Chains A and B, each alone.
Chain A
Amino acid sequence: MQVEKEPKILAILCKWCSYAGADLAGTSRFIYPANVRIVQVPCSGRVDPIMIFKAFVEGYDGVMVSGCHPGDCHYGTGNYHARRRIAVARRLLEFVGVHPDRMHFTWISAAEGKKFADVCSRFTDELKALSGTEKTLARKELAT
């Protein structure tokens, strides 16, 4: 029987909302998979799509980007810029043969510790379900 590998997740979180949300998940002792690595950025608007590609190159199985809820951005509009960039990055991922669902974009506020833990757990499950599907996807892309 094949041993299921724990997928590695990179979570890029904004400093004001989502990182604080992750802290709250800790303070509230919500257990989530240990394979999540968090990188702090000042704002989700700082997230360059290349960061996401770099993470996949470096062997992460999934990348999660989270910012403040729409309208709540500490810097006014940074999360809107992030949303647009990530929508484009998603299509590029598909193009290079990475399943677009390996990238997750979400809004987590400083009060949503539970949501952060839930998103991490759910994302891990989704990535497990995805493992092995990319090759087929890539071949299909090539065929058409």
Chain B
Amino acid sequence: MAKVGVFVCHCGVNIAAKVDVKRVVDALKEMPEVGFAHEYKFMCSSPGQELIRKEIKESKINRVVVAACSPRMHLPTFQKALASQGLNPYLVSMANIREQCSWVTDDPEMATQKAIDLVARQIKRVVHQDPLEDISVPMTKTALVIGGGIAGIQAALDIADGNRKVILVEKSPSIGGRMAQLDETFPTLDCSQCILTPKMVEAAQHPNIEIRVNSEVKKVDGYVGNFEVTVEKKATYVDAQKCIGCGICQEKCPVKTVPDEFNADLNLRAAIAIPFPQAVPAIPIIEPDYCKKLIENKCGVCAKICPAEAINYDDVPMQETVNVGAIVVATGYREMDPAVYTEYGGRKYPDVITGLQFERLVSSTGPTGGELKRPSDGEIPKTVVFVQCVGSRDESKAHAYCSGICCMYTAKHTMIYKHHVPDGQAYVSYIDIRAPGKTYEEFVRRAIEDEGVRYLRGRVAKIRRLQNGQYRVYTEDTLVGRAVHIDADMVVLASAVEPQEDAVGLAQILGIAYDSDGFYTEAHPKLKPIETASAGIFLAGACQGPKDIPASVQQGSAAASKVLSIFARDNLVKSPQIATVDPTACTGCLTCSYVCHYSAIEEKEFGQRQVAEIIPGKCQGCGACVATCKGKAITLAGFSDDEIYEEIVSCK
């Protein structure tokens, strides 16, 4: 028989000024379930909690109702008080007579009536509450990081430094990501490679990190603590164990027609190549679509000259399943193809290039060896127009969102340009300058004031090639209110940040949400920016939304700390307020599995038939399946039908 102890709080005058607490206590004492009812000035204070502890010990009550503020505020406080006396913490319920009663009701009489009703309902409810035990799930303390850009590298290093194993999966032949392609970084103009390469090497040499390049995640099963991930390594035709990275194959390969992806397709490279000089690992791969040996079984030069006999033309893709406990998704972004902007030439004009191509043009490892020459004729451009917001903030052509990094990298580009061509003139066409980071605004001012870059506020209408090889950029200066045109030698389009091409496909493999643009959605935009809606999967870097390097590194570290905090426990502890299926009542229709957002419901055999089963590790306790179940075979602990209907029924 349930014996409920009731404690009514005054909350100073917050409750007592409107609600006649004495009357409430007297009214409740009449209820058969109630063992006793007390009032106290501040239930949440130490003496208040002591009162509960004392009564549990002395009066042998087995259920508690505290009538005070919102359970969102103090339910954990009172649960701890119960637990300290050996009573199950899920046997307490709170009546919210402050936020829902004393603070929102004018008339003291009505407030008192309502308070009695609210507490009485919780007394009826608490009788139906069952003791619950926290769920303990064992886990594999290895993390998987998808994407070897700066965010992924940072996450991997932090987890590895926390003495946990990390598997770093990278799609391309080398880690480093977009940052490896950059020349200098804002707002300090330090060389991107110089700060990135040590981190790449550190990751490669870390005993806790296993780097898997040329690999992609194909399948993810399981749940937090126990993921089973299928990783596919594509055929590279070079044995990584034997290769010594001398690069002689790259020199001798007769096929030099492969667009160099690392140089943003500005030049052509060999069919077998190390992606870039600082690549980690520095092992070449063969492009099967270009290699003569693989297409028509001719040539074979690389195999002949390789001193380590590392070339293997019979290589095939290989799949392997790994067990991990947590996943960090850091797949990064790609630069939008500005081809849809036909008014800007739509990639037809050779000297209208993108921001990333400009980075490669000025980089010492780029196609021109660091000399700024325009692609069409190799001349040094004396006038360059930088166009911002190409594809960003333009819903009609591309994306409604702001790409965030372009204002800053354009300012950086203008400075690099001025350092390469001191007598040249740079123009920037912008809508607004968005530079909210630390020392970012100062950086832009430096470009404008010290370097003499001319910023014109307005959108570029069109770009046309003139007969003399220049490009006429038609734009406006809205601050002066005039249409202007500039004859430029080169135009750089700050093309939008876009999710990776296969972002949605990977999201579907992982079972995480993505927005209409294809960026991955965090669990809460403010309070859970790292987590996804799926437990144990975290986001880092630009796959979640456009980000610069500092923000990506921050998010990488944040994701690592989330992973480490999961791994810090022996077992995974979950809230016991989850759904369970009564297999004897389940008809096996599995309608519940269609509404489950977490794919937590699976089919299992029970007796001679199939029934639904909820995986405790995956269930988050939303209850969508409970409302869906026609046979009422599913119960949600803590919010069972008994508890909710009791609240509805016991209305006066």
List A residues at the B interface (Cβ < 8 Å).
8, 10, 19-20, 22-23, 25-27, 29-32, 34, 36-43, 45-48, 51, 54-55, 58-60, 74-78, 81, 85, 117
Q: Which of B133-141, B200-208, B214-222, B640-648 contacts A (4 or more CB under 8 A)?
A: B640-648
Q: CA of A51 to CA of B331 in the docked complex: distance in angstroms? A: 44
Contact in complex: B645, A76 (CB < 8 Å): no
Chain B residues contacting A81 (CB-CB under 8 Å) are: 595, 624, 627-628
- Knowing A31-B104, A54-B645, A85-B627, say if A10 contacts B639 (CB, 8 Å): no
- Knowing A19-B72, A48-B627, A76-B513, say if A8 contacts B651 (CB, 8 Å): yes
Contact in complex: B639, A42 (CB < 8 Å): yes
Closest 10 A/B residue pairs (Cβ): A26-B99, A46-B623, A75-B622, A45-B624, A76-B597, A26-B103, A43-B622, A34-B110, A48-B627, A34-B105
Q: Which of B113-121, B240-248, B279-287 contacts A (4 or more CB under 8 A)?
A: B113-121
Q: CA of A59 to CA of B652 in the docked complex: distance in angstroms? A: 9
List B residues at the A interface (Cβ < 8 Å).
70-72, 96, 98-101, 103-107, 110-111, 113-114, 117-118, 121, 513, 524, 533, 577, 595, 597, 620-624, 626-628, 636, 638-639, 641, 644-645, 647-649, 651
Contact in complex: A51, B644 (CB < 8 Å): yes
Contact in complex: A32, B104 (CB < 8 Å): yes
Contact in complex: B99, A23 (CB < 8 Å): yes
Q: Which of B621, B636, B648 has the most CB of A within 10 A?
A: B648
Write 19 A-B pairs (CB below 8 A) sorted by A numbering. Answer: A22-B99, A23-B72, A23-B96, A25-B104, A26-B96, A29-B104, A37-B118, A37-B651, A39-B644, A41-B623, A45-B622, A45-B624, A45-B627, A48-B641, A51-B645, A54-B648, A75-B624, A76-B513, A85-B627
Contact in complex: A20, B72 (CB < 8 Å): yes
B648 in complex: contacting residue of A20, A55, A117, CB < 8 Å = A55
B70 in complex: contacting residue of A23, A46, A59, A76, CB < 8 Å = A23
A43 in complex: contacting residue of B100, B114, B121, B623, CB < 8 Å = B623
Closest beta carbon of chain B to A88's beta carbon, Å: 12
Closest beta carbon of chain A to B83's beta carbon, Å: 21
Contact in complex: B627, A22 (CB < 8 Å): no
Chain B residues contacting A34 (CB-CB under 8 Å) are: 101, 104-105, 107, 110-111, 113-114
Chain B residues contacting A75 (CB-CB under 8 Å) are: 533, 597, 620, 622, 624
Given contacts A34-B107, A60-B651, A74-B524, 10 further A-B contacts (CB under 8 A): A20-B72, A23-B72, A23-B100, A31-B104, A37-B651, A42-B622, A42-B639, A46-B622, A46-B623, A46-B639
Chain A residues contacting B107 (CB-CB under 8 Å) are: 34
A59 in complex: contacting residue of B113, B117, B651, CB < 8 Å = B651
Chain A residues contacting B647 (CB-CB under 8 Å) are: 39
Closest beta carbon of chain B to A25's beta carbon, Å: 6
Closest beta carbon of chain A to B646's beta carbon, Å: 10
Q: Which residue of B is nearest A39, CB measured?
A: B647
- Knowing A31-B106, A75-B597, say if A46 contacts B111 (CB, 8 Å): no
A30 in complex: contacting residue of B104, B113, B627, CB < 8 Å = B104
Contact in complex: B648, A45 (CB < 8 Å): no
Closest beta carbon of chain A to B183's beta carbon, Å: 39
Closest beta carbon of chain A to B132's beta carbon, Å: 14
Chain A residues contacting B113 (CB-CB under 8 Å) are: 34
Chain B residues contacting A54 (CB-CB under 8 Å) are: 645, 648-649
Chain A residues contacting B104 (CB-CB under 8 Å) are: 25-26, 29-32, 34, 117
Q: Which of B99, B101, B107, B595 has the most CB of A within 10 A?
A: B99
Q: CA of A85 to CA of B629 in the docked complex: distance in angstroms? A: 13
Contact in complex: A41, B644 (CB < 8 Å): yes
Chain B residues contacting A30 (CB-CB under 8 Å) are: 104
Contact in complex: A22, B100 (CB < 8 Å): yes
Closest beta carbon of chain A to B507's beta carbon, Å: 13
Chain A residues contacting B72 (CB-CB under 8 Å) are: 19-20, 23
Contact in complex: A78, B651 (CB < 8 Å): no
Q: CA of A76 to CA of B535 in the docked complex: distance in angstroms? A: 13
Q: CA of A25 to CA of B628 in the docked complex: distance in angstroms? A: 31
- Knowing A27-B103, A31-B104, A37-B118, say if A51 contacts B648 (CB, 8 Å): yes
Chain A residues contacting B651 (CB-CB under 8 Å) are: 8, 10, 37, 55, 58-60
- Knowing A10-B651, A46-B636, A54-B649, say if A38 contacts B623 (CB, 8 Å): no
Contact in complex: A42, B597 (CB < 8 Å): no
Q: Which of A8, A20, A36, A42 has the most CB of B within 10 A?
A: A42
Closest beta carbon of chain B to A75's beta carbon, Å: 4
A10 in complex: contacting residue of B105, B114, B118, B648, CB < 8 Å = B648
Closest beta carbon of chain A to B533's beta carbon, Å: 5
Q: CA of A67 to CA of B592 in the docked complex: distance in angstroms? A: 20
Q: CA of A10 to CA of B641 in the docked complex: distance in angstroms? A: 16
Chain B residues contacting A31 (CB-CB under 8 Å) are: 104-106
Contact in complex: B624, A46 (CB < 8 Å): yes
Contact in complex: B624, A43 (CB < 8 Å): yes
Q: Which residue of B is nearest A77, CB measured?
A: B597
- Knowing A37-B118, A58-B648, say if A25 contacts B624 (CB, 8 Å): no
Closest beta carbon of chain A to B302's beta carbon, Å: 50
